[in-house]
Amino acid sequence: MVNNTSESLSSLKPEQREAVGLLSIGTFLEYFDLLLYVHMAGLLNDLFFPKTDAHATSLLSAFAFCTTFVFRPIGAIIFGYIGDTLGRKITVIITTFIMALSCAIMASLPTYAQIGISAAWFLTICRIMQGMSSMGEIIGAEIYLTEIINKTYKYKYSVVSILAFFAAVGSMAALGIANLTTSFGFSWRMGFWFGAGVAMIGVVARTTLKETKEFADAKFIITKHLQINNQQTTILQNDPIWEEKVNKTALLAYFFMNCGWPVCFYIAYIYCGDILKNSFGYTSTQVIQNNFIVSIIQLIGVFLFRVYLSRIVYPLNILKKILVIFSVFIIFFPQLLTNIQDPSFILVLQSFIMVFALDIMPAEAILYSHFPVFKRFTSTSITYSISRVVVYVTTSFGLVYLSEYFGYYGCLIIIVPIIFGYTFGLFYFEKLEKEAKNHPQKHDFLLEESVSP
């Protein structure tokens, strides 16, 4: 009999359960703060940027969207270094504080009508801060849980995936606040003040976390080695823990797999949202209401097909099934858009994309385990951030022009190569798992029973 999720969490040690709770809440807040602007862009761009013609507005909107992600590699370098040198705990505390600060500034920022173009620059700086801090948050939190939970623990994959689930909850909450703001006249500033206030509570709460055992043990061994020999780090040149190399092919596979989610997110929420506006006359308020429904369906799908299912099905096998379903669907996607007469069908297409999106969830713990402990944070966060920059910039700006020349089929020019890259990455990590004898051997689909911690 399969235990429910609460039972799987209750079997963890008290400090592990506390870590899951604190990191989940932090991830929720991080994505609530990060995506609140994204989902309210139609309203906030009018308040903070000068009005232009339709084409320029599309490019300006793409610029505002991409700003958050363009500077993520810098954040990845900074927080990757901190995470791999000082520890995972300090990283998630710093990133949460930065997110709280940027939200507080945005909540009190004067509009374009009040201070002119300075409003746009200040807003852009805040978005850059949010993008940079988000790199240390989600990667840091997932690595933290990956390292503190015993490798033989049966529900390891679903516990780590809870963070991505709470990221989806944060996105849904951001849409909910955006819906209240646009539909009922709530002040948009209140949403940012809420995010800033609760994030500060999260900063204080996270100070109670302990450093992960895997990182702390490795750090202890290195420090002890230096103390015994009274030497500097140059003596570690031949130490297998310190000098373990990053598998470059694994890094490339990780990059390709992380390209899947951003294109699915953009197509479902931004691209389809523009279709609702331009082809069916939806207002920004109606688009937000529509996307809020999509986010609820996405949340249910994420829980059922990723968090819950990963407790009994090997994560890479889940991703293979999702890959097949998504690939078949996307072939017919442009034709479906061409023949749509009822805008409610757009909601169905959006929901399908987000439920079966190409994501690394619930295989995060598997992927992280194939990177050396002292290079894990830096290598994965930089690669993750670059994948977001490449895909979001290519998709947001590319679709402006591809749609003009190829109509709805223009999206396939971007999506199809990403599917091939994702396929390569997925099967490469499956190969690594089989070589490490971590892949289920007796069953092709179901997980083996493991010993609880």
For residues 161 and 126, give the distance between their C-alpha atoms in angstroms, rounded to a whole number.
Answer: 28
Residue 389 has pLDDT above 70, yes or no: yes
Q: Which residues of 245-264 are buried (b: 16+ CB within 10 A; e: fewer)?
A: ebbeebbebbbbbbbbbbbb
For residues 329 and 190, give the distance between their C-alpha atoms in angstroms, rounded to a whole number.
Answer: 39
Q: What is the structure's pLDDT at 359?
A: 95
Q: What percent of the chain has pLDDT over 70?
A: 80
**In terms of pLDDT, which residue wins out, 204 or 280?**
280
Please state the length of the chain.
453
Q: What is the structure's pLDDT at 353?
A: 96
Residue 322 has pLDDT above 90, yes or no: yes
The whole-model pTM stands at 0.78
pLDDT tens string 262-292: 999 999 998 999 899 888 998 878 888 899 9
Domains and CATH numbers, the chain: 5-211+244-435 (1.20.1250.20)
Q: What is the structure's pLDDT at 13?
A: 74
Q: What is the structure's pLDDT at 443?
A: 47
Q: What is the structure's pLDDT at 451?
A: 38
Q: Which of 91-100, 182-191, 244-253 has the lowest mean pLDDT?
A: 182-191
- Which of 147-151, 174-178, 379-383 has the highest average model confidence (pLDDT)? 379-383
Q: What is the structure's pLDDT at 327?
A: 97
Q: What is the structure's pLDDT at 351?
A: 96
pLDDT tens string 100-140: 888 889 889 898 888 887 888 888 888 888 877 776 677 77
- Which of 10-19, 141-150, 376-385, 442-451 has the highest average model confidence (pLDDT)? 376-385
